[in-house]
Structures are given as structure tokens and as C-alpha cells.
Structure 1
Amino acid sequence: MNIFRKESINKYLAQDHKFSKTLTAKDLISLGVGAVIGTGIFILPGTVAANYAGPGVTLSFLLAALVCVLSAMSYAEFSSTMPVAGSAYSYGNIIYGEIIGWILGWALILEYMLAVAAVAAGWSSYFQSFLAPFNIKLPAAFVSSFNPSKGTYIDIIAIIVVLLITFLLSHGMKDSAKINNFAVIVKIAIIILFIIVGANFIKLTNYQPFLPYHFSGVIKGATTVFFAFLGFDCVSSSAAEVKNPQKNMPLGIIGTLLIATLFYMGVSIVLTGMVHYKSLDVANPVAFALQFAHQDWIAQLLSFGALVGMATMMLTMIYASSRLVYAMARDGLLPQSLAKLSSKNKIPQISLWVVAIIISLGAGVFSVDQLTSLVNFGTLLAFTFVSFGILPLRKRKDLPNNGYKMPGYPVLPILSGLICLYLLTQLNEDVYIMAIIWFSLGIIIYFLYGYKHSSLNKK
């Protein structure tokens, strides 16, 4: 039994050639920013400032971004060398072997689907709050996850928003990208409006002391806000549908992080200048700061911005999930029907709708609060393997790369991998228990189905 057998890049390129190549660097950055900048930008700067870093939370975001940039450069080189669907799953299959590829794919399924389910539930809550001033209320039984003791059975709103976004994606990436680009512009405009308006209410005394918890607080804050940047890796899932991927993939991945960093730092500077950091440990600190400055109309607008932000994040993650499932089915590790592309718009419709149904049921029925930290485990595991993977990638003569290459080889790839391993050790014990259960299930499925049906097994 050879579980470390490796796939061929030429096979992937031949199979993924059927995709319509419609995405540009601008589309990729829009997808990335849509995934990375969600409700976290309205919450994390305040809560992290209050509990860990004070006004130095701006430096926390900068440090976290620098760590993510290392992983982003690794992804950029991989996607430039191998412009195929499947992201870290496909990279793992080619570089490390099938079993590692499967584990990375299983980790990404966890990251993408669980993240969307959690955000869909959050979107439902925000939407209900948004409707409250208009005296519109849905029956309590249909507005939250299954909890009969509280009289709630299913979250209809969460299910509907997932299915509506999937319906949009089912019409192809060209139309979906246009709508996503517009939604991202709306979200960014609202954030910029907050920065401009809020800047008028900054009091320099609120920045003193700048590091109340010392620099150790800034580092602690960085490990907390690190997860606000997760989602840029979704961009690499789209490589098979990108025009000139050697040029546009690195621009999309690294451009996403740079833009997200600027906005996170901008919001942090203005927020901690408007209100003293000790007062920001509230559920929605940005809205709180605006109300403190008697700018209630912008606070209401922020709720709309949060809804748009979560919608763009769900669109990117559902899209990435469907391409990941397609890639695993393409290799025979999941049923082949999931790898079929529609004749009309050349997208994996079956994979897309299977993913949507699973996510919508998860969002509508289950409470995902306890599971969201598992998203971080799956992501960091993928980051670790992709970072270290640059070393064997450079040695492969069959994988020439005329596009982007990560600078500082081999020091920076090793540093990136070590930092990701360190962050993995910072997760709670219960996360490891749930991860062991999830990956044990994945290994069982691989040996009972995947290994036998793998396309590599037929060679």
C-alpha cells in the first residue's frame, strides 16, 4: 500500500483546462478582501485593545499581517507554479503525496464549511437586528439553531442566505465576480466613511499610555487578531479559472493582505482615538464609538456594512469549498459525480449544491459557536505544510516556475512554517480533542473509500 504516491501536474492541468478562465487580479483581490474583511473589523480592534494591547492594537494588526504575509508568499509561489483547482489539497498531493493531500483537503473542508456556517448564523442575527426598527419579527421557532428548551428549532434566515448566495454562484464566476466586486466596494466605502468621520472625534489623550500592557500585550493581541486575516488562502482555490495565473495569482493573494492590513490598522487608530481603550470591551465597539460621538446614523449604516461584509465572505468560502470538493472528486477520493462541470457555464454545479446543502443545514440546525476555533486549526495546518512545501517545490525539475517566487529562500519558508507551528500550540485543548475526532473520521473515509477509488490506484 503506497499512501504517499504523488499526482502529476500535467494531469491536473489537463483536467482543469475545461474551466472558463474569466478572473482577473482585480477579481481575485475582491474575492480575497470579501473573505478577509468581515464583521471582525467592527469588533476585534476594540475588544483586543481593551483586553490585551490598548492603543497598541494597531501594532498587533501589523505584526499579525507580517506573519500572514509569509504564508501568503508561500501560497503565491505555489499558485504561480501550479495554477490548478484545490489549493493546498492539490499542492499536497503533488509535493508530499496522496495521504498528506487528503489530510490537507479534509482540513480545508473543515475550515471553509464551518466558517460559512458560523457566519451565516451571525448574518441571521445581524439581519434580525437590522429589521428591528421596522417592527418586523419572525416567529421565534425559526430564527435560531435547534434548542427546544428555548423554543427555537431552525434558523430559516441562515439557510436562505446560503442558498441565495449559492444560486448566484451557480450562474458562473463572471456574473458572481461582478456582484461581489460591487458588494466589496460598498463595504469598503462604509469602512472609509467611519475612518473619515471618526477622525474628527479623535482625542490624543486617548492614546496615552500607548502600550498599557507593554509590548507583550501587543504580541498577545497579534496572536488573537491573526485569525482576522484568514481567508486569503481561498484565493488560491480559483487558480484554474484565472487569466494569466503566473502574474495575477500573486497579485491577488498578496494584494488582499495589504489592503486588509491598511483597513484593520486604520479602523484601530481611529477607534482607540475616539474612545479610551478601557471602554471598548463591548459587543460592537465601532458602533459604540459612533454612538458615543452622537453619530447614530453611521452606526446604523455599519450594521448594513456588516451584512454586506458577511455576505461577501460567505460567497468566497462557498466558492472555495465547491472547488475543493471538485478537486478531491477529480482524483477519485470522493465520488466522481462531484467532479462534473456543467456544459453551460463550466462550473462544478453538483459540488456547489452539495456544499450549499451541507452548510445551510449546519447553519440552520446546529450551534457552531464551540466549533469555530476548529477553523483556525484547519487553516494553520494547511499554512504549515504549504510554507515548508516551498523547500521540496524548488527541487522539483518537473515543476518549472517562470512567475512569482518567494524571496528569502530557504529562510523565510522555514520561518513561516515554524511560526504557524507555534500558533498551533496556542490553541485550546478542547480544539485538539475535536480535531482528533475530525481527522480520525477523515482517515477512516480515506482508507475505506478514497484509497481504493483513487485515480492513482488505477495506474
Structure 2
Amino acid sequence: MIFWRVKSLDSIMATAEKKSLERSLGVWQLTLLGVGAIIGTGIFVLTAEAAQKAGPGMMIAFVIAGFVCAVAALCYSELSSMVPVSGSAYTYSYAVLGELIAWMVGWALILEYSVAAGAVAVGWSGYLVGLLDNSSLGIEIPFALANGPYAGGIINLPAVIICILVVGLLIIGTRESATFNALLVAVKITALTAFAALALPVSNLDHFQPFLPLGTSGVVAAAASIFFAYVGFDAVSTAAEETKDPQRNLPIALVGSLLICTIFYLLISVGVVGATGAQPLMNAAGEGLMPGSKEMAEQCQLLAAEGYQPVVCSQEALAHVLREIGWVKVGNMIGLAAFLALPSVVLMMLFGQTRIFFVMSRDGLLPEGLSKIHPRFKTPYVVTLVTGVVVTLAAAFLPVGKLANISNSGTLFAFLVVALSVMILRVKDKNRHRPFKAPIIWLVGPLAIGGCITLFMFLPLDAQLVFPIWTCIGLVFYYLYGYRKSHVLSGVDLPQQKQSD
């Protein structure tokens, strides 16, 4: 079938050799890129939402989400070591499931990277406004310039500024971006370590009861949301073409960054529950209120008027916990650390998105001009500028509310396709050299697929519906351009046959 054009792994490698990016990243830089992409909005902001859905059981939610990501990471490691080029899940699916599925994956990754980048930028804006309001500088950003039209303002100017700065940094160079990211990762690790060191010693076992106030379904629902806290590790695979010794370094960085973050998340969730408790707010019928709903906002306001704010009502859960246990100044410093750290997440989301678009352009599915390399900085500057404009506009005018769940829907689809691709290649191309092999793939692969489907089913209905609608929009673009311009169709990327001796 013409819709299932497959681009062989040899052809993919040949294309990359003709127009490749500079290999400048080592294993530590790559691991830190993964940590930088993972630790961000999820742990600093979504902890309160996880607590509202699962109570103390959110610790299990972190484990479930981390486990799904872990089995997916093993699949990513096998493919990225075999095919060390940019493109991540898009490239892998092109080689196994064909062009149409690859386009759908690339289009879905926009939900993961661009939507997430815009959401984090708006979150950073909120931290900036809060810090300035509570500082002695006397600076106050007008409401109309710190909020988009959805909140009664005009434009979210701080979010626009941070997007522009990050785009400029990405254009200057990958190595410079990685160095900047490493500094911000150090800030995040220091902040989370300080939180664990202060919160864990004062944990009270009584705060863990009842452990599952909303049952196991609440835990899985929390895992579906908190999955956003792990999104980003796959951005490591998008840097494959810019990695030194990718066959060795990519698997180490993928699994290593995920392991580091999972350990921190477990420590943080235990500290939050143990230090102050994390029971959800209930309605009159004994049902948990929906995070972000009007009913929950009203109940939080009533409790605040009485001088009490539970962790599930806080927009800065970690800082709130430390203030509650007497570490007010350190709590404020945690807020400052989140403010300093979130730009690294915006950077990695934009980094991943531009590399996906770069490869799609190189394959002819997007205009070829997007894959131009800057003569001085050796970066894909055109696609970086285009992506930056889109993300900046989203951050300037669109709401953040449910963007995490929308982002998750695209990510889960990509993870599922990667797991499926690994298993198919084990059968179709079993003799190909694999520098890294996912262990017990016939268990790991189905676990990854089943986990992705389960988490998707527990996303809110609106997030589930966004994905098929977004996919249909993408198919329209594909048939208008990529379907006819594909290099696989024209034979542009077919590798030349080697002459026999």
C-alpha cells in the first residue's frame, strides 16, 4: 500500500550522512539533558494535583508512571543505539510501520514538545510575577501584560520573553545549550535534595492514613496526570545525531536520566505526604473534587479564609510544605529554584521539537528549507525560529490548565509505537547488529504498550478527544504536502547499491 511506504534503516542512515548535525555531546551532557527535560513542571507543580487524585497513594502513582516510562526507555535505547540519528519515535516508526504512521507520530510529538514548552513558559511567568510581588524591588508587572486573553489580560509578556531567550540560545549552538542546561540541572537537584533533607526527617506515619482515600482508580488517574513529570527523557534520543559514540552513550543517558529522576520523585512524594499530609478534598457525597474545577477552587478559598491551606490547594507544593514545617526562607528559595529551573525544560522541549521537524523536513514531509543548517553555529536555525514563533504565540495567548494531560496523550501514542516497532524489528530484521538489546523484549514490549493504553484511558475525556482531532488535522497537512513531496516516493533517499567485489 502506498500509505505504508517504509524507509529502510540503511536509507535513514544514508540520509543522515548527507545532511547531518555536528556530534558534540558526551554521555554526561546527554544524561543532564534528559534530567533537565524531565525535572520541571511535573514535580514542582503537578504534585498537588496528584495528591488530590490519589492522596498518599500518589507515591504509587509516581512508581506506575515511572515504570511505564522505564520499559519504554528500554525500547528507545535499543532503537536509538541501532539508528543514532535525529527524529526519535518518528524515525523509528518510519523504518518499521511506514510513512503514514511516522507522520502521525511526528505530528503527535508536537503535543508532547510544543504544548509542553508553552505550558512551562506560562508556569515560569507565574513564578516570576510571584517573586517580583514578594521582593523588595517594588516591581509589579501589570495584570494585562502577565496574562493572556483567557484570564482577562492582553498578553503574557514574561512567557514571550523566556521563549525568545531560549530560542536564541538554541540557535547559538547545541554545546552552549547543553552547558546552560547543566547549570540549571544543578539548581534543580540542589533544591530537591534540600527539600528531601528537611521534609523526610519530620515525616509522621499518621499522615499516610488512609493511604488510598479514592481507591486504586484514583492512583491510576494520578499516574496518568503525573506521567507529565517524566515526559522529556525521550528528548535524549532526538539528540542522537549530535552525540559522540551514540551506540554506547544513548542507552546510558536514557536509562540513567530516568533512574535519577525516579529516585528523586519517590523521595519528594514521601516527604510531601509525611511532612504535612496529602489528603484530597471531598464533596458532600464523599467523592474527590476534580483538580482545577470551580468547586475545588471555591473550597480552597474557604479553607484559606479560615487560615488553612492543604497541599492539594497549593500552586507551589514543595515550597508550601517547607513553609508549613517552619522552613519559610528555604521554602521561598525552593520557589526561586523552580523559577530558575523551568527555563531548562522549555529549552529541552524546544530542542526536541526542532529536531523532529528537522528530520521530517529532511525526509521531504515538510518543506526542505526548514532543515537548513546555520553556516556558523551548525544548528537547524530555520526550524528553530519557526518552532519558536509557534510556541511563543501559544505561551502568549493560550491557557495552561489542561495542557499537561493534552501533552500526555501525544506522548503515550509515541511510546506505544516505539515499543511496537522494537518487537516488529526483532522479527523482520533479527540479524541486524544491536549495540543495546532491551532485555526480555516479549515481556518489556507488551508491558510498555499495555501501560500506555491504560494511562491514556485514565486521562480526562477532553484530553482523550484532543488526540484524534489533532491527528485528523495532521492528516490533512500530510495529504496536502508530504504525501506528494516524500523523498521515499521520489526515490531521493534510496541508498546506492554497493558494487560487488
With normalisation by structure 2, the TM-score equals 0.86
Structure 1: distance between partners of 2:46 and 2:156: 26
Residue pair 1:141, 1:153 contacting (<8 A) in 2 also:
yes
Match in the other structure for 2:10: 10
Please list, as runs of the form range in 1=range in 2, the aligned pairs for 1:55-454 lying within 5 A after superposition.
56-133=57-134, 134-147=137-150, 150=152, 152-212=153-213, 217-278=218-279, 279-283=310-314, 284-397=316-429, 400-454=432-486
- Residue 214 of structure 1 deviates from its aligned partner by 5.7
- Residue 248 of structure 1 deviates from its aligned partner by 0.8
Q: Greater CA deviation, 322-331 or 308-317?
A: 308-317
Question: Does the residue aligned with 1:352 lie in a helix, a strand or coil?
Answer: helix
Distance 1:451 1:122, change over 3 A: same
Report the residue type matching 1:291 in the other structure. R
Structure 1: distance between partners of 2:388 and 2:46: 28
Q: Greater CA deviation, 394-403 or 26-35?
A: 394-403
Per-residue CA deviations over 1:139-170 (Å, capped at 9, x if unaligned) read: 332211124x83x1111111110110111111
Distance 1:425 1:219, change over 3 A: closer
Structure 2: distance between partners of 1:448 and 1:399: 38
Residue pair 1:39, 1:309 contacting (<8 A) in 2 also:
no
- Residue 135 of structure 1 deviates from its aligned partner by 2.3
The CA RMSD over aligned residues, in Å, is 2.0
Per-residue CA deviations over 1:277-304 (Å, capped at 9, x if unaligned) read: 2332222332222111221111111111
Structure 2: distance between partners of 1:100 and 1:185: 38
- Residue 430 of structure 1 deviates from its aligned partner by 2.3
Distance 1:51 1:415, change over 3 A: closer
Please list, as runs of the form range in 1=range in 2, the aligned pairs for 1:46-57 lying within 5 A after superposition.
46-54=48-56, 56-57=57-58
The match for 1:23 among 3, 22, 25 is: 25
Distance 1:214 1:398, change over 3 A: closer
Residue pair 2:225, 2:405 contacting (<8 A) in 1 also:
no
Structure 2: distance between partners of 1:231 and 1:129: 26
Per-residue CA deviations over 1:158-186 (Å, capped at 9, x if unaligned) read: 11101101111111111111111111011
Question: Does the residue aligned with 1:170 lie in a helix, a strand or coil?
Answer: helix
Residue pair 2:80, 2:250 contacting (<8 A) in 1 also:
yes
Match in the other structure for 2:496: none
Structure 2: distance between partners of 1:37 and 1:202: 23
Would you say how many aligned residue pairs link Structure 1 and Structure 2? 456
- Residue 317 of structure 1 deviates from its aligned partner by 0.6
Residue pair 2:147, 2:156 contacting (<8 A) in 1 also:
yes
- Residue 323 of structure 1 deviates from its aligned partner by 0.5
Residue segments in structure 1 that go unaligned for 5+ positions in a row: none
Identity of aligned residues (%): 34
Distance 1:159 1:102, change over 3 A: same
Structure 1: distance between partners of 2:351 and 2:250: 16
